[in-house]
Amino acid sequence: MRAVRFHEFGPADGLRYEEVPDPIPAPGEILVRVRACGLNHLDIDCRSGVSRLPLALPHILGREIAGEVAAVGADVDAVKVGDRVLAHVAPPCGRCDFCRAGRDNLCSDARLPGIHRPGGYAEYAAVSAVGLERIPDHLGFEAAAAVPIAFGTAWHMLITRGQLRPGETVLIQAAGSTIGSPACHTTLMPSRTQPEAKTWENRLASVASATTDLLVRSGR
C-alpha cells in the first residue's frame, strides 16, 4: 500500500509518500480502508520531534481514522467487511486501574493510532475493534474523521465534567476555534442555548447561523 510517513523529525518537507507493507489485523483488530483522516496539532508536534512521545521511525501519523472495514481479525464479530466505521482514537485496554474505575479515557495501556502504532496517513490501517463507531449513511468520511478529538473534548468538558443540563445558558469563548465550534454544537444537541464570544471574522457567520442565540464581539 501507499502511505505518508517520515524517517526523521523535522519540517513537513520530510514527509514521504512511499510504498509500505500492508498491515495485517491481529486478533481483536480490523483492517480499515482509510477514506479520511483528521489532522491535529499533535501530528505536527510528533513530526517535529517536540511531542515528547516515543515514536518508532519511520512513522505513519494520523489519529482520527474513518473508512470501510476491509478485513476482520479473529474474535471480531461486531462489524463486517464493507461497514463504514470510525476508529477509537484511544482504545482502552479494559484491565488497568483507570479502566476498572470507569476512567478509560486515562487508560495507561492504550495503544493510540498514529502514536504507538501506524496511523491513518495510509491507504489501510489496522486498528483495535474496541470502541468502533459505525458511521451513519448521511455523514461523510471527512466529517466523521473530524469528530473524535474535537467533539470528544467538548463533550467531556460540557457534559461529563460540567454536567450541563437542558435549559441552562452557556458562554462559550473563542467559538470559532477547534474546540469552541464543537462546543457550540454540543450544547445544542439536547436543545440547550448559549451566547458566545468570538473574534474570527471569517467563521462568525457560519457559527452564528448554525448554533447561537447571541454573539458578543470582544474588543468592540
**128: which 3 cell numbers?**
483495535
> CA geometry: angle at 22 spanning 18 and 23, to 5°?
120
Class of domain 2-139: alpha beta
- Tell me the DSSP string of 160-178: IIT---TT-B--EESTTST
How far apart CA 39 and CA 205 sit, in angstroms, is 24
Least confident segment among 100-114, 115-129, 130-144, 193-207: 193-207
Selecting from 1.10.10.60, 3.30.470.20, 3.40.50.720, 3.30.950.10, what CATH number does the domain 150-212 have? 3.40.50.720
Evaluate the CA torsion angle 112, 129, 185, 187 in order and state its sign: negative
How far apart CA 194 and CA 187 sit, in angstroms, is 7
Domain 2-139 and domain 150-212, same fold? Reply is no
How far apart CA 29 and CA 51 sit, in angstroms, is 27
Amino acid at 47: R
Tell me if 1 sits within 8 A of 124, measured CB to CB: yes
Q: How many of the other CB atoms lie within 10 Å of CB of 58?
A: 14
pLDDT of 202 above 70: no
* Structure confidence by residue, pLDDT tens digits, 47-92: 999 998 889 999 999 999 999 999 999 999 999 999 999 999 999 9
Predicted pLDDT of residue 192: 43
Mean pLDDT of the chain: 86
**8 contacts: CB under 8 Å, gap ≥ 6:** 14, 57
Q: Could you tell me the residue ranges of all domains in the chain? A: 2-139, 150-212
